[in-house]
């Protein structure tokens, strides 16, 4: 088996020399693909597109997959791309997923390939940037597709490559992301047995893998609160029912949900107000105010409790101020907890330790970030993990967070992603073939 795989890889010009076994071959194949992966990432970084608008991104990916000879389907969940690699032997079906969308953020990092793209979000012209690393995820999976295509005749099973739009959430009023891909049958025909996904981390050292069994990322629900008051001149506030003051009281009330109602010694939760929109000029108390925000929870029980409290506090505070309050929660998106199947995680742990080194695999506590990979993992066993993208020696406190203008990734971290996804696929197929 190993000698045959090696010969296939050599014939595909992925490897420059003969290696002892398949594991080493994957390492060397990833090494030889590294510059390609970096080049793909830089192109994607320089040409970002927002959720459900990844038109040129999907064309770029599809061209690469078609050139590899894969069965490619485009237009899945609007702009998604799915490719199927059939191995030379019957066996399980492994899915690998990368997300495609960028964010309405203006890039500030001084890079020769920095984004200067402009898009439209909620009717406004906005700068667009890959401020969460989705460009690296796509480039990594493109590399994995090329690597595995080189040994397809010896793979005992099938690999499905899923390039997914709108992980950050579809625009209000639209469907999108993993939820729509599942709805449109991405895990069917052929039926997927397991799915793997990764996320690069700007705050974690290059060469490191972070993982945990069961819940690894929070469930997420957004909310919208609309406050209707009574307009008046700014000089006579007693003639008004002030929606702005009411909004501030509601915000203060929402902040007591986590601090005074949730068992924080058990697990974390978050309620954040992200936008507030009211008024047109300084001397007019407006009639309405509108707020949106996000809720992050790590269990169904906590989610139900917080959603109930958001509704109750906003409504009753508004009533006490004489205002009418409408609460929509969830508003436009709702993600389940990202859950790593315990048995599958245990089965693949030796692979993680081999590709990164046992000392570079960390078991982490759950985090309050959310991921719509959760929709796939709700349907089939899944494992989601993090790879490091922070330059070694840079203090974590100095690494710019995700979703910010200074977000930066050390491109040398992507090679571990190629190795990890390739080895997870090969090792799972070989261990579970009948």
Active-site residue list: 335, 411
Residue 361 β-bridge partners = 209
Taking alpha carbons only, the member of 205, 230, 236, 422 closest to residue 322 is: 230
Taking alpha carbons only, the member of 374, 375, 361 closest to residue 211 is: 361
CA dihedral 179, 87, 382, 293 (to 10 degrees): -30
**DSSP symbol at 325:** E
d(CA 106, CA 290): 24
CA-CA-CA-CA torsion sign (141, 143, 145, 148): negative
Determine if the peptide bond prior to 190 is cis (ω within 30°): yes
Residue 334 β-bridge partners = 221
**222, 228, 258, 312, 361 from 291: Cα distances, Å:** 11, 12, 18, 16, 40
CA dihedral 115, 118, 121, 123 (to 10 degrees): 170
CB 412 within 8 A of CB 206: yes
Q: How many CA atoms lie within 13 A of 217 on its CB side?
A: 22
Helices (H), 209-339: 243-261, 300-321
What tokens does 116 get? 């200067």
d(CA 121, CA 364): 34
**DSSP symbol at 171:** P
d(CA 292, CA 60): 34
What tokens does 192 get? 């997927």
What tokens does 195 get? 């799915």
Return all residues near 39 (Cβ < 8 A) that are at least 6 apart: none
């Amino acid at each position: 088996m190993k000698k045959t795989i090696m010969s296939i890889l050599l014939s595909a010009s992925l490897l420059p020399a003969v290696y002892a076994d398949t594991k080493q071959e994957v390492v060397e194949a990833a090494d030889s693909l590294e510059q390609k992966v970096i080049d793909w990432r830089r192109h994607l970084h320089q040409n970002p597109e927002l959720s459900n608008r990844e038109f040129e991104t999907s064309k770029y990916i599809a061209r690469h997959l078609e050139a590899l000879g894969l069965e490619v389907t485009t237009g899945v969940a609007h702009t998604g791309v799915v490719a199927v690699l059939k191995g030379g032997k019957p066996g399980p079906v492994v899915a690998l997923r990368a997300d495609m969308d960028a964010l309405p953020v203006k890039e500030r990092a001084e890079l020769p390939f920095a984004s200067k793209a402009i898009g439209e979000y909620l009717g406004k012209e906005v700068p667009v940037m890959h401020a969460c690393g989705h460009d690296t995820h796509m480039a990594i999976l493109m590399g994995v597709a090329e690597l595995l295509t080189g040994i397809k005749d010896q793979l005992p099973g099938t690999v499905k490559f899923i390039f997914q739009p709108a992980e950050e959430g579809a625009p209000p009023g639209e469907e999108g992301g993993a939820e729509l891909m599942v709805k449109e049958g991405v895990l069917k025909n052929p039926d997927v047995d397991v799915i793997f996904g990764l996320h690069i981390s700007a705050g974690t050292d290059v060469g490191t893998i972070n993982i945990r069994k069961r819940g690894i990322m929070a469930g997420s629900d957004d909310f919208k609160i609309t406050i209707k008051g009574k307009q008046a001149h700014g000089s006579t506030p007693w003639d008004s029912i002030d929606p702005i003051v009411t909004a501030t009281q509601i915000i203060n009330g929402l902040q007591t949900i986590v601090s005074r109602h949730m068992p924080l010694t058990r697990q974390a939760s978050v309620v954040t107000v992200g936008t507030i929109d009211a008024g047109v000029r300084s001397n007019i108390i407006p009639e309405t105010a509108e707020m949106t925000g996000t809720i992050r929870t790590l269990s169904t029980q906590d989610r139900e409790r917080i959603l109930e409290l958001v509704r109750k506090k906003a409504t009753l505070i508004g009533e006490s101020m004489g205002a009418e309050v409408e609460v929509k929660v969830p508003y436009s998106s709702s993600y389940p907890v990202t859950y790593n199947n315990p048995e599958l995680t245990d089965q693949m742990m030796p692979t993680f330790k081999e590709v990164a080194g046992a000392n570079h695999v960390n078991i982490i506590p759950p985090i309050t970030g959310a991921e719509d990979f959760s929709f796939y993992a709700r349907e089939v066993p899944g494992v989601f993990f993090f790879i490091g993208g922070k330059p070694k020696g840079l203090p974590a406190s100095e690494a710019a967070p995700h979703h910010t203008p200074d977000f930066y990734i050390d491109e040398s971290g992507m090679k571990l992603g190629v190795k990890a996804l390739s080895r997870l696929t090969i090792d799972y197929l070989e261990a579970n073939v009948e």
